[in-house]
Structure 1
């Protein structure tokens, strides 16, 4: 079976925009911390980690078209039920499993054109199902739903030729997740099944944003440590510009995948996994875990690499 529509990349434009966006994120982090007893090191290390993962993914994906995707997914499948609970909390472990599901599905689609190994695509599907089943062993409801959502997206795009409207729909899903979090924090959905401690942190983050809308309270200076929401923490610590840069980074992720030289279903499977991570990050502090952000950068790099 031949690959489905693979668009030509926009030259270096997408990569240049990504570099400029990364520089803007780092510059705003330093600026919002200037003149304060803030701790921007955590944010800067996070940017470095996701960049390192992305660079490694681009290199590995260019050299190992399918194995580059399959190897980390298989590693997560083996290590998650053994070492995972000892090293990561349930939310972070489920987030890694969701990214691994996306990598396995992406590998399956990338292997479809290889007639010499028709069994490889089926093996990738089986691996994705195993990873999703392992997420049921965690106590993270949102993480389990993220794994299931990634599978649904990957299965529904098997014959899709266009990337524009699916990418826009995924972006809308992430936006709705953040909007729902803000609505709950504002008290707009009384009686919703949200832990009281999460609601308290979200409301504290919005209160900090109301007091310091431009620069926030400073990176690393949020009173609760973690706001249990990446978007609200960015807004509280770096103001509206910080939240906007985070949103732009996710939008660039979808754009990069829309211009990926990978087959369309493979690129959209990775986009589904990263969108599931964004949804999970809107209600839990998974982006504060180094393994998760490195994994996200690795998957993005692998899915945008030119084989």
Structure 2
């Protein structure tokens, strides 16, 4: 195993027993509150991430509709801004250990309408694909467009002040857009083929500068991703199996995790999968973990790595997954 991967895996504790993990996590005191949304009645919300102010449009009407297939992605949930801040921070171990870089291609499952993780992370990676149901597309794109002028890399650092106002910065129209490298596509966890995800990048970008670079010397085109993300998609036991299967199929577009691998740091690197979720029902969590351990090795990230927003006791959990070698 190359040193970068070994250092990355040191940021958490490996999980091997779903019942033990569920008991450990759910025997702790968990903050009480609603299902996890910020404000399900508001049509827009202002959110600050790492000194950047985003205006997020949402749809309370759609959330309360009887649309088949669910509508939970129609509003912004509490964990999403916290996760977006954590994953986009330069101090995140994925950046420190070079598993995220300006050349990275990232995919997100169940991105929802906010596009918030994409807005926070896309300016610093090569390309970002958000996936969800078709009803999400319009508001996802609207939120990208509405916040296109927010320039994350050049914003003031959190905690600074200017003339007594909050430490946020928003570029005027005509500023440096940061979302040209974001693609949205539908992905049905039960019927669609994850191997086709990257083709939608080239289709939207026209094969131009926003499409991922190809190495003509490679024998095979890399259909995989450097990072697969999911934020608060685990709440319904019926969705667990197709969700885990989709995660596995996407991660297996790259080589699986092999502890004895002595390859070069940038050759044969596996897809890192990060699953963030709110603690709700212990039986659903245990079902997810049991299903996940069949396909992945799993690490629960430490409080030191997660920081105050996502650490133990906040009601949120973050696990790192690496696909196992098929037996």
Structure number having the greater strand percentage: 2
Same topology, TM > 0.5:
no
TM superposition score category, shorter chain reference = under 0.3
Structure showing the higher helix proportion among its residues: 1
TM-score (norm 1): 0.27
